[in-house]
Amino acid sequence: MKYLNLVLAGILSLSVMACKDKAAEEKTTASDSWPNHKTITIVVPFGAGGDTDFHARNLASYLEKELDTKIIVTNVSGANGNAGMRQVIGAKPDGYTALFFHESMLTNKVVGVAQQAHEALAPVAATIVDNSYVIAVNAKSGMKNMKDLIDRAKAQPNSVLYASSIGAYSYYLGRVLEEQQKVDFNIVDAGGGTDRNAALLAGKIDVNVNPYGVMKSYFESKDFLPLAVIAKERNKLFPDVPTAKEQGYDWVAERYYFLSFPKGTDTKIIEKMAAAMKVVTENAEFRKKTEDAYSVSPTFVGTADLIKHLDTSLAEFEKNKNLVNN
């Protein structure tokens, strides 16, 4: 009997090992053949029509050709992007569900809108490093440059209405400027880019900070005036706008737009997607569409460098938590 039990135990052990080996083999095969003409869903955690949505859809249209598969972009808005992010975090890590987001996922965690940030996902790569952020006013405001804005804020504390989404990246930028210049804006939650544009046009807010492309048509119509681009140097796509730094204000912003899979996704799949994204960002047609639409040039950032950037940025936001969550 004892011998029989040992034999049965040996058979069971071999069966378990065989099942594990088969599962590992199937996983390897699935990773090697990915995407295998199966549909990939990219979640944009905001409504349709904004800059994040455009960059995701533009990327998806070229990735379809590169990966030879169908890609669907779906919008899941709510909680400043956290609703869509949670959906992807909970998805199966098989390479067929992804998130296209930006650094607001980090500030969401710092202010408590979200419990997790990029560490709960498998970041793949960035296609946009947006250095086109501008601070703009209504052309009828009487303000022409950064000095005019700061002088008004000092003369009328807590009266200059600075539009943002509370806890978002633009909110953080406003708080940084307040601290640097020892002024107090009245920072108001004015919704997304479209809502803020309407509010600035109607004179319901005084200042709007967004990527240039979000307000591009209003600059072209002369309804809005960009006071400065919040970058290290002037943008070649709108070179007439001076930097804040040129005007004596050490105020710089960059925002990465990047793709992530659910945590636990096979590294082979991540590597394949990153390689495809790199090819797309080097595509001349893709680059022109991006520049024409949003006045920003595509920039590829690979997995390791992206994670390093996100780790550093999250640490910086945590260090300045009083500016993000005030």
Could you tell me which of 268, 272, 245, 259 has the C-alpha nearest to residue 298? Answer: 259
3-state DSSP assignment of residue 91: coil
> What are 169-184's pLDDT values in tens digits?
888 899 999 999 999 9
State whether 151 and 293 are in the same domain: no
**Is residue 78 assigned to a domain?**
yes
Within a domain: 192: yes
Q: Which of 114, 126, 123, 106 is nearest to 301 (CA)?
A: 126
Judge if 109 and 157 occupy the same domain: no
Task: Give pLDDT, residue 167.
Answer: 67
One domain for residues 123 and 266: yes
Which tens digits make up the pLDDT trace of 169-227? 888 899 999 999 999 999 998 887 888 999 999 999 999 999 999 999 999 999 999 99
Model pLDDT, residue 27: 54
The pLDDT value given to residue 304: 98
Segments in the chain below pLDDT 70? 1-28, 166-167, 326
pLDDT for 21 equals: 57
Structure tokens at 259: 């793709």
Sheet of strand 161-164: strand arrangement: 186-189, 161-164, 207-211, 133-138, 224-229
Please tell me the predicted confidence (pLDDT) of residue 169.
84
Residue 18 lies in a domain: no
The answer to whether residue 7 sits within a structural domain is no
Say yes or no: 61 and 105 in one domain: yes
Claim to verify: residue 277 and residue 190 sit in the same structural domain: no
Burial readout 68-79 (b: 16 or more C-beta within 10 A, e: otherwise): ebebebebbbee
Write the CATH number for 308: 3.40.190.150
pLDDT of res. 193 = 80
What CATH number should be reported for the domain holding residue 199?
3.40.190.10
pLDDT of residue 165: 76
What CA–CA distances, in Å, run from 79 to 191, 244, 263? 11, 31, 21
For residue 250, being part of any structural domain is answered with: no
pLDDT at 16: 54
Give 99-124 as a DSSP string.
EEEETHHHHHHHHTS-S--GGGEEEE
Q: What is the number of domains present in the chain?
A: 2
pTM score, whole prediction: 0.85
CA distances from 132 to 4, 153, 234, 236 (A): 74, 24, 9, 10
Q: Could you tell me if 272 and 296 lie in one domain?
A: yes
Residue written as token pair 């990915």: 34
* SS3 (DSSP) at 44: strand
- At 66 the pLDDT is 97
Look at residue 271 and tell me if it is in a domain: yes
Query: What pLDDT is stored for residue 241 in this prediction?
Result: 97
Residue 207's domain comprises 133-229
